[in-house]
Amino acid sequence: MSERFIYFDHAATTPVRPEVLEAMLPYFDKKYGNASSIYSIARESRAAVDEAREMVANAIGAKSDEIYFTSGGTEADNWAIKGIARGSADKGKHIITTSIEHHAVLHTCQYLEKEGFDVTYLPVDEKGLISPAQVEEAIREDTILISVMFANNEIGTIQPIEEIGEIAKRHGIVFHTDAVQAVGNIHIDVKKLGVDLLSMSAHKFYGPKGVGALYIRKGTKLASYIHGGAQERGKRASTENVPGIVGMGRAIEIATQNMDSYNKKLLELREMTIDKVLATIPYTRLNGDRDKRLPGNVNFSFEFIEGESLLLLLDMAGIGASSGSACTSGSLDPSHVLLAIGLPHGIAHGSLRLTFGKDNTREDVEYLLEVLPGIVERLRRMSPLYERVKNREE
Amino acid sequence: MSERFIYFDHAATTPVRPEVLEAMLPYFDKKYGNASSIYSIARESRAAVDEAREMVANAIGAKSDEIYFTSGGTEADNWAIKGIARGSADKGKHIITTSIEHHAVLHTCQYLEKEGFDVTYLPVDEKGLISPAQVEEAIREDTILISVMFANNEIGTIQPIEEIGEIAKRHGIVFHTDAVQAVGNIHIDVKKLGVDLLSMSAHKFYGPKGVGALYIRKGTKLASYIHGGAQERGKRASTENVPGIVGMGRAIEIATQNMDSYNKKLLELREMTIDKVLATIPYTRLNGDRDKRLPGNVNFSFEFIEGESLLLLLDMAGIGASSGSACTSGSLDPSHVLLAIGLPHGIAHGSLRLTFGKDNTREDVEYLLEVLPGIVERLRRMSPLYERVKNREE
Amino acid sequence: MYSEKVMDHFMHPRNVGEIENADGIGEVGNAKCGDIMKVYLTIEDDIIVDVKFKTFGCAAAIATSSMATELVKGKHIDEALTITNKAVAQALDGLPPIKMHCSALAEQAIKAAIEDYLQKSND
Amino acid sequence: MYSEKVMDHFMHPRNVGEIENADGIGEVGNAKCGDIMKVYLTIEDDIIVDVKFKTFGCAAAIATSSMATELVKGKHIDEALTITNKAVAQALDGLPPIKMHCSALAEQAIKAAIEDYLQKSND
Ligand SMILES: Cc1ncc(COP(=O)(O)O)c(C=O)c1O
Ligand SMILES: Cc1ncc(COP(=O)(O)O)c(C=O)c1O
């Protein structure tokens, strides 16, 4: 086992920043009041929640009463999609989404299909992009919702959200975007985008796990999803997770301040990795669009080998990475995203996602570039698929 | 404003214990791995989540694969009730609950009524108790769920859950109990109780806000509520809130260890408060059952005055308390629980809930007993209702 | 939640009490809603020379009662009748939206007391 | 997740490679499932005197390949045919439930290789 540990899996989750943890700490044991109560420490909790709401709103160009805190990105996705579906049953039962959404959107849509909704899963091109024209063509009389993710969690592809937003608005259809991978990582302004609902999750930008938010554009009618007390202006019940919410606010504030310099660095690491890996390891492809992609994301497929073995050997070398979405590790199927961009199963199994973050350095990437070719080669030498290719070559 | 602050609102929320916070801390910034990932720090997260699950299971006599973590008590209630409702539509559409449930249950049931379910809200007696016979009488051919809270959050009344569990089992009906106020505060053993589903929330027993759990007895078929990734064995999606879950585990472990001595102390404070307040403040009644009540709960109604004014004056004197559920503060109606036990509106408005906790002392209660009579008298002297009574008396 | 002015008038309400043989008495609200305000006026030459109140209600109800009585004291009844609940709330540096109905209570109670006076004078 | 033994056999797999002119070759699985195992046997007097494998798959697939080849080496083919996937998993101190199918792969590949040998001998 290696001495050092280099984390290249920031799309799965990020560590809480020291400044964020510091902001959260008083709300665990000192300012522990229930934000809905009336006495002094409770009013401090209320004020802290309001301030965090303001910070989240500012970061995406929203008003603070358009922000509703949730338990994470998944709940925000469930709420947005099921809330519109249940509230628009009289208008229609058709939903448009894509085949590369996160499971939080995909499984929610599949659940609604069982309830009698009709869902169009738009195919993507070989880079993982959908076109606004595709969306427009899919619109029907009874379409009630368009849900297209902002940036893909596996291959990092960034979709033309603004153009899709225009189409949605023109047709008067509610538009949701799962922006969990985008918020806190790239600039977002909901005023420009024309989205009505937007999901976010704090642990993707150095905030805590277990807290997220849904942006609900003023005027968008959305049924509640978690019923109970009057928290979040009656729209999302449960005692406010004050430390979590405070952490999300502080994290998004810092992320927004640092975004340009942060992304400059990530871009450098990304380009360096792509160039070197493609140059040194044969039978390798880059998945996703080369340019329309998150600054910190690279995703390769190494033919003839399987991802889990690759991850374990990288872990032994002190590198934490991912093969497809972390959430899918419970499954045996290769990533639905890689299949959707047209990869054959065998190649989809051999994918590696590296997602860079604030503490990664050029040295980290150099170390990766040092060990990765050997690890790939080692697994290939064990692989009967590689043997065939080699035999053919000879 | 007073120098000291005495917290008498432990039913609303509790501070995180130092030992609990300490257990949580590494999982924010050091062991920050996504519990679903594969590399070393992620495996540590997974192990920590599994250990916490074991602790929660042990505390209530369950097996660890019967515990599913949620974002709090409200989500657990929503999940249990809607999950059974949606999954049993072919069997029937009748639900039995009580008129004094927390809003997390009540509003969920009201929501289901709009969807076509038929809900019986059992009335309670003047102490806030329901009888097993009432439950049995309410059962119909098409009853699919009985949901009765373990202990009431306002008046502290503890229901005959074991007896109701027997009836539910005899009739083959799924039985849910909202035990948010009970777990971590009084002994619970699901093996004895015959409940199929049980909701809990960590911040009610010195754990963090924003994390709870649902106990699902093995063999109980419950549809998922939050769809997405494969977390919680495919039943509850979203990146695990590792620090929160770790905190819940540690908090319930400590609560269970300390329960007997803790409750002995709370009982003393409770009895002392009840005796003295009833003896010194006229036109006062104790709400709820004198004996079948949570050790730390007292709830009074002071005639002729209104609760918010009372709370603000207590806050000025450095005492944090509540008037009905903290969650209802967004509403203008008096507590539905106090109305259900037969209080007229005017008197329900003038209620005071004091809920004691681990750091409260006899001195704290003595201070309360010193200031409370004066505050009540001050408000009464301003009240036109009191004037009438006084005039009648003269 | 509340402005400093609201808290000041709640903690130190002006004009609390009753007036024996008041020229006008108004009572509005009911216990069901959780707010009752009773106003007593002493009126000389249609000028409100003294005013007292009793209120059952929340902090906002008590503070608006206190402020409203301050605003009408010394005023001609015609002028007093023009004082709106908005003016009362503004004089308190605002109220939380959910509490705005409390300021209506004060306006109504004063109107009721003046009407009571006018009716009595007509008798 | 994995036992130490699994990790050991994954990190240091025994018997990796090919055998030129093997007496029996078996290949099972397919790339779609993410697991392929190919086994080469050298057999003398129905005794497996040498065995090599190549595997495309996860750590469990590699480790079970390694362990299964260890278990059959030196054994009579009749005995080798009785080795079950459970035995392979047990020899590795267990596998996560979701990975149990990988041990089936190893069992099947060895069976296929022995059958290949038997068929060739019959020719
Ligand atoms: C695109 C996307 N959507 C939704 C989610 C779910 O977020 P969370 O795990 O916070 O519920 C994730 C990450 O897990 C994601 O990457
Ligand atoms: C009886 C009861 N049920 C449910 C809840 C909701 O729990 P949470 O606020 O953690 O969602 C509470 C407390 O708020 C409660 O007291």
Residues of chain A contacting residue D58, judged by C-beta atoms under 8 Å apart? 306-309
Which mutation among B10, B147, B204 tests ligand 2's pocket best, with the greatest number of atoms within 8 A of CB? B204
Using CA atoms, how far residue B31 sits from A50, B26, B40, B56, B242, in Å, is: 29, 6, 9, 21, 9
Q: Which helix H or strand E contains A110, and what residues bound it?
A: helix A103-114
Cβ atoms of A335 and A351 closer than 8 Å:
yes
Report whether pLDDT(A352) > 60: yes
**CB neighbourhood size of D20 (10 A):** 7
Question: Which other chains touch chain B, taking contact as 3+ CB pairs less than 8 Å apart?
Answer: A, C, D
With residues binned 3-state (H G I as helix, E B as strand, rest as coil), the percentages for chain D, rounded to 5, are 50, 25, 30
Q: Is A201 in the pocket of ligand 1 (CB under 6 A)?
A: yes
- C-beta A181 within 6 A of ligand 1: yes
Query: What's this model's pTM, rounded to 2 decimal places?
Result: 0.95
Nearest to residue A39, comparing CAs of B7, D56, B137?
Answer: B7
User: From the candidates C1, C17, C18, C33, which is the catalytic residue?
Assistant: C33
Per-position pLDDT tens, chain B of length 394: 456 899 999 999 999 999 999 999 999 999 999 998 888 889 999 999 999 999 999 999 999 999 999 999 999 999 999 999 999 988 999 999 999 999 999 999 999 999 999 999 999 999 999 999 999 999 999 999 999 999 999 999 999 999 999 999 999 999 999 999 999 999 999 999 999 999 999 999 999 999 999 999 999 999 999 999 989 999 999 999 999 999 999 999 999 999 999 999 999 999 999 999 999 999 999 999 999 999 999 999 999 999 999 999 999 999 999 986 333 455 567 899 999 999 998 888 899 999 999 999 999 999 999 999 999 999 999 999 998 888 887 6
DSSP notation for B3-59: S--EE-BTTT--PPPHHHHHHHTHHHHTS---TTS-SHHHHHHHHHHHHHHHHHHHH
**Residue A241 confidence class, pLDDT cut points 50, 70, 90:** very high
Compute, in angstroms, the gap from residue A180 CA to the centroid of ligand 1.
6
Q: Are A184 and A59 in contact (CB under 8 A)?
A: yes
Instruction: Report pLDDT for A388.
Output: 83
User: How confident is the model at residue A25, as a pLDDT?
Assistant: 98
Q: Is B307 in the pocket of ligand 2 (CB under 6 A)?
A: no
Q: What pLDDT is recorded for position A331? A: 58
Counting ligands in written order, the one closest to the CA of B147 is: 2
Distance from the alpha carbon of residue A354 to the mean position of ligand 1, in angstroms: 17
Q: How many helices (H) and strands (E) does chain B have?
A: 14, 12
Rounded CA separation A10/D84 (Å): 41
Among residues A296, A277, A282, A292, the alpha carbon closest in space to that of A369 is found at A277
User: Parallel, antiparallel, or unpaired: how do β-strands B284-286 and B212-216 relate?
Assistant: unpaired
Touching check for A391 and chain D: CB below 8 Å?
Answer: no
Rounded Cα–Cα distance for residues D18 and A314 (Å): 26
Listed as ranges, residues in chain D with pLDDT below 50 are none
pLDDT reading at C88 higher than 80: yes
Question: 3-state class of A201 per DSSP?
Answer: strand
Average pLDDT of every residue of chain D? 93
Q: What mean pLDDT comes out for the span A245-252?
A: 98
Query: Kind of pairing, strands B284-286 and B297-302?
Result: antiparallel
The percent of residues in chain A predicted with pLDDT above 70, rounded, is 97
Q: What percentage of chain C reaches a pLDDT higher than 70?
A: 100
Measured between alpha carbons, how far is residue B300 from residues B312, B320, B354, D5 in Å? 16, 15, 9, 64
Please report the pLDDT score of residue A326 as a whole number: 37
Q: Among this protein's residues, is D58 annotated catalytic?
A: no
How high is the pLDDT of residue B331?
Answer: 58
Residue A178 Cβ inside 6 Å of ligand 1? The answer reads yes
Q: Tell me which of A327, A339, A371, A389 is the catalytic residue.
A: A327
Instruction: Residue D41: give the domain boundaries.
Output: 4-122
Concerning whether D102 is annotated as a catalytic residue, the answer is yes
CB A102 near ligand 1, within 6 Å = yes
Give the pLDDT of residue D30. Answer: 82
CATH number of D40's domain: 3.90.1010.10
Query: Alpha helices of C25-99 — where are they, by DSSP H?
Result: 59-72, 77-81, 85-91
For residue A40, the model assigns a pLDDT of 87
A332 touching chain D per CB within 8 A: yes
CB contact under 8 A, B21 and A5: no
Q: What pLDDT sits at residue D97?
A: 84
Does residue A302 contact residue A283 with C-beta atoms inside 8 Å?
A: yes
- d(C-alpha D108, C-alpha D85), whole Å: 9
Two tokens at A260? 């340009």
Please name the residue whose Cα sits nearest to atom 15 of ligand 1.
Answer: A180
Closest residue in A to C1 (Cα–Cα): A43
Distance from CA of D57 to the nearest CA of B (A): 16
Distance from CA of B353 to the nearest CA of A (A): 12
- What is the total count of domains within chain D? 1
Tell me which residues of B are annotated as active site: 327
The answer to whether the CB of A212 is under 6 A from ligand 1 is yes
Residue identified by tokens 């595997």 is D55
Which ligand is closest in space to the CA of residue A353? 1
Which residues sit opposite D56 in a β-bridge?
A: D36
pLDDT at C123 over 90: no
Determine which of B226, B315, B352 to mutate to test the interface with A (most A C-beta atoms within 10 Å): B226
Q: Does A35 touch chain C (CB under 8 A)?
A: no
Element (H, E) at D106: helix D100-122
Q: Closest approach of chain A CAs to the CA of D79, in angstroms? A: 26
- Contact flag A40-B5 (C-beta cutoff 8 Å): yes
